[in-house]
C-alpha cells in the first residue's frame, strides 16, 4: 500500500513540478556551469547503497593544493535559496519512483556512518529512507544527531499511514517557514562521528 502510494504521488509531483525543475536546472547551468545534479551514494533499505539525486547547490571551488574549500565558501547564492525552501530535494522524487526512497522515512545519510550506529540507531534502516521524516518535522538539522536518531527509530516502531500523512502536512509547513535548514554555526550539518555509546565500545 505504501509503495503504491509513493509511486503514484511521486509521479504526479514530478509532472506538477517539472516546469520548475527545468527552470532550476537552467539557472544552475547558466550561473555556475558544471553538472546540474549532485549525485551521491547513500544507504537505503537494509543499508543497501543507491544513488541519491539532488540539485547542485555548491560550486567546486578548490584551494591551491586542489582540495575542496569549506561548505560555506562553496555554497552559491542560488544554492542557498534552493536549500532554504528544500527545492534542491525535488530530484529525489525520481528516487521515490524507482523504489529507492519513500516519501516518508528516516533521511538517508552517508555510507561511512553505517559502522558508527548503535544497534538501536541501526533500526532506522529497517524501512526505506524518505524524502522527509519524523526527525525533519521535529527539528531537522537544528537538533543533535542523538535526538535525530531517536526520532528516526520512533518512526520505524510506530509508522502508519495516518502518521505519514501528518508528517507530509507538517513538512509543507516547515518548508514554507524554512525552519531547521542548518545546524547553528554550520551552513549544512556537522559530520556524525559516532554516538557516545559506540565510542565507548570502540566503534568510533
Burial (CB < 10 A; 0-12, 13-18, 19+), residue 196, is exposed
Are 124 and 106 spatial neighbours (Cβ–Cβ below 8 Å)?
yes
How many C-alpha atoms does 122 have within 13 Å on its Cβ side? 11
**Residue 34 DSSP class:** S
- In angstroms, the CA 9 to CA 7 distance is 6
Q: How many CB atoms lie within 10 A of CB 12?
A: 11
Element (H, E) at 103: strand 102-104
CA distances in angstroms from 57 to 31, 45, 138, 150, listed in the order given: 11, 26, 24, 29
Output the pLDDT for position 204: 36
Q: If DSSP codes are grouped into helix, strand and coil, which group holds residue 166? A: helix
Range list of H helices, the chain? 2-32, 71-74, 77-84, 92-98, 145-158, 161-177, 196-200
Non-local (6+) Cβ contacts of 121 within 8 A are 149, 152, 153, 195
Output the pLDDT for position 200: 43
DSSP strand pairing (49-55 vs 37-43): antiparallel
Are 120 and 153 spatial neighbours (Cβ–Cβ below 8 Å)?
yes
Q: If DSSP codes are grouped into helix, strand and coil, which group holds residue 108? A: coil
- In angstroms, the CA 154 to CA 139 distance is 15
Residue with cell 556524525: 192
Cα 5 to its chain centre, rounded Å, is 20
Q: Tens place of pLDDT for every residue, the chain, 204 residues? A: 899 999 999 999 999 999 999 999 999 998 877 789 999 999 999 999 999 999 999 887 776 776 777 777 778 889 999 998 999 999 999 999 999 999 999 999 999 999 999 999 999 999 999 999 999 999 877 888 999 999 999 999 999 999 999 999 999 988 887 765 555 555 567 888 887 554 444 443
Taken as a whole, the chain contains a residue count of: 204
Output the pLDDT for position 23: 96
Could you tell me the pTM of the whole model?
0.85
Output the pLDDT for position 201: 45
DSSP strand pairing (130-132 vs 102-104): parallel
Amino acid at each position: 500500500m505504501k509503495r503504491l502510494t509513493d509511486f503514484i504521488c511521486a509521479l504526479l509531483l514530478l509532472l506538477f513540478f517539472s516546469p520548475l525543475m527545468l527552470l532550476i536546472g537552467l539557472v544552475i547551468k547558466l550561473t555556475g556551469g558544471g553538472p546540474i545534479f549532485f549525485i551521491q551514494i547513500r544507504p537505503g533499505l537494509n543499508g543497501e547503497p543507491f544513488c541519491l539525486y539532488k540539485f547542485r547547490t555548491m560550486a567546486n571551488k578548490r584551494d591551491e593544493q586542489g582540495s575542496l574549500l569549506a561548505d560555506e565558501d562553496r555554497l552559491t547564492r542560488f544554492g542557498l535559496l534552493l536549500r532554504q525552501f528544500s527545492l534542491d530535494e525535488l530530484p529525489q522524487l525520481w528516487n521515490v519512483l524507482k523504489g529507492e526512497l519513500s516519501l516518508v522515512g528516516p533521511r538517508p545519510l552517508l555510507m561511512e556512518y553505517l559502522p558508527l550506529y548503535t544497534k538501536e540507531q541501526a533500526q532506522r534502516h529497517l524501512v526505506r529512507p524518505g524524502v522527509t521524516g519524523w526527525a525533519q518535522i521535529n527539528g531537522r538539522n537544528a537538533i543533535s544527531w542523538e535526538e535525530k536518531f531517536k526520532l528516526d527509530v520512533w518512526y520505524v516502531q510506530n509508522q502508519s499511514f495516518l502518521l505519514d500523512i501528518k508528517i507530509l502536512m507538517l513538512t509543507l509547513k516547515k518548508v514554507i517557514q524554512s525552519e531547521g535548514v542548518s545546524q547553528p554555526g554550520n551552513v549544512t550539518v556537522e559530520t556524525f562521528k559516532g554516538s557516545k555509546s559506540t565510542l565507548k565500545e570502540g566503534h568510533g
